Structure 1
């Protein structure tokens, strides 16, 4: 494992092809502030450009919180203009995570509320501890989710279920989150990171260009008519057919050996 690289609000490290980003403001349950946004941007830019990294795990330190949400005190002095700027910034940061080109697995180890839930929604997959609780309760504060929650939650769990959660400020436990499709898996708290790493290792041995191709196809196709989404899929399929990794993958399969991916 590489030596952890520590910032003011988070740290990251790499073991083999898997990087782990850990939010680390335990005194405020990893509440999201401007400094954390800046450090998330820098960290994910670094990991996205590192060819040795195939999968990224994202979690919070300790067992109380993944991220409790936005820094409430920092919102007290906002007006219409500064509030819009804060929302724009959060959306930009989470879009960078969502589109970094590598699978990002949210390891939800405690509460993921407001902006913290929105951060999990921006990840590729979500595994929750059986002690996790998730929600978008912003209407209790006279606000709406502003970091992409109204859009991503609706796309993930459906129109009615998402509206019910947001309009009632519901906070759901891990098993209800699994039932409605908010998370993909629930495991005992003590097994969370082990299980997340197992899933990451399964993904990491696949062809990296193909993995990024799947992510690109899904991202480009969302919201498009089926015919346009299919064209995007065909474009990516064709592009991959011209790669050395495709040739290696098919050759290795026919020879009944493990493929050796080069990423080109």
Structure 2
């Protein structure tokens, strides 16, 4: 099962302060039973660096409500713990993330768990406040697609193993990227580079991502997290007020246009989910056939 729902209101994030080393963030007691077992988010503090690990390898790290909540809680911890200066997001197992787990997500929406209402939460996708003010480094490998790619794009510094396979292919599911890729991908890779992949649904690799400016370091498989941690340590070693001011100033230069664009993402995504083309894509997935789109 792939992430055909893109980011489906992933703006609902969560995060609680003072997560312990190797904490497993479980879904809330009222959560519906997720597909293939609930995901976990494992956090580990290494001095001023917080590691945030997506841990659901049996599903290729499909993002379920527990992962949305866990990542959001970890980012809240990063923001509010004065001892933390930077975080590293990574995926445990062969893949970073293949995107959303649609059945688990839909069940959580119906149960009122998504959007997340917890106050100790910062959404990684930042489609709505509060906004993270400390840096985030990401390390990816294997499948990094759909909402997984949007999590990747939300980071400030990006490291990819050479075996990474990227994809932002919501158009093949009668939808469009609902987690900000239409803004971030286009801004960072350039218009034609982003459209080359978002309008075709084709995959691309780490070297192509590096060429487009989406990836800052390409590593041998298995080394991506080590390189990301070393970069995070360098960030943590410099003046923290200067780092936060640099992030804030850089964001301010983009703020007016980007805030307006990101605010329009979710209404557009919701509208497309009501179309016959989107419904056809879901039928085709269930039936194992190519969808037939009619533009309605």
State if a TM-score over 0.5 links the two structures. yes
* Aligned counterparts, 1:197-236, within 5 A: 197-222=229-254
Give 2:79's match in structure 1, choosing from 43, 48, 51. Answer: 48
Q: Distance in 1 between matches of 2:150 and 2:239?
A: 29
- Kindly provide the CA deviation profile for residues 152-197 of structure 1, in whole angstroms up to 9, marking residues without a partner as x: 1111111111111100102111111111112111011132122112
Q: Report the 3-state secondary structure (helix = DSSP H, G, I; strand = E; otherwise coil) of the residue aligned with 2:99.
A: coil
Q: Does 1:7 align with 2:38?
A: no
1:53 CA displacement:
1.0
Q: Distance in 2 between matches of 1:44 and 1:187?
A: 25
Q: Does 1:29 align with 2:47?
A: no
- Kindly provide the CA deviation profile for residues 196-240 of structure 1, in whole angstroms up to 9, marking residues without a partner as x: 121111111110010000100111111559xxxxxxxxxxxxxxx
Point out 4+ residue stretches in structure 1 off by more than 4 angstroms.
74-78, 85-89
Contact 1:97–1:122 (8 Å) recurs in 2: no
Q: Does 1:195 align with 2:231?
A: no
Q: Does 1:175 align with 2:207?
A: yes
1:58 CA displacement:
0.3
Aligned residues: 218
Q: 1:184 to 1:98 in 2, by over 3 A?
A: farther
Other-structure match for 1:104: 136
1:93 CA displacement:
4.2
Q: Report the 3-state secondary structure (helix = DSSP H, G, I; strand = E; otherwise coil) of the residue aligned with 2:215.
A: coil
Other-structure match for 2:95: 65
Q: 1:190 to 1:77 in 2, by over 3 A?
A: closer
Give 2:47's match in structure 1, choosing from 16, 26, 29. Answer: 16
Which consecutive residues of structure 1, in runs of 5 or more, have no partner in the other structure? 226-264
**By percentage of residues, which structure has more helix?**
1
Q: Report the 3-state secondary structure (helix = DSSP H, G, I; strand = E; otherwise coil) of the residue aligned with 1:178.
A: helix
Q: Report the 3-state secondary structure (helix = DSSP H, G, I; strand = E; otherwise coil) of the residue aligned with 1:176.
A: helix
Q: Distance in 2 between matches of 1:48 and 1:19?
A: 11
Contact 2:65–2:104 (8 Å) recurs in 1: no
The structure number with the bigger radius of gyration is 1
Which consecutive residues of structure 2, in runs of 5 or more, have no partner in the other structure? 1-19, 27-39, 258-296
Q: Does 1:140 align with 2:158?
A: no
Q: RMSD over aligned Cα, in angstroms? A: 2.8
Q: 1:41 to 1:211 in 2, by over 3 A?
A: same
Contact 1:97–1:123 (8 Å) recurs in 2: no
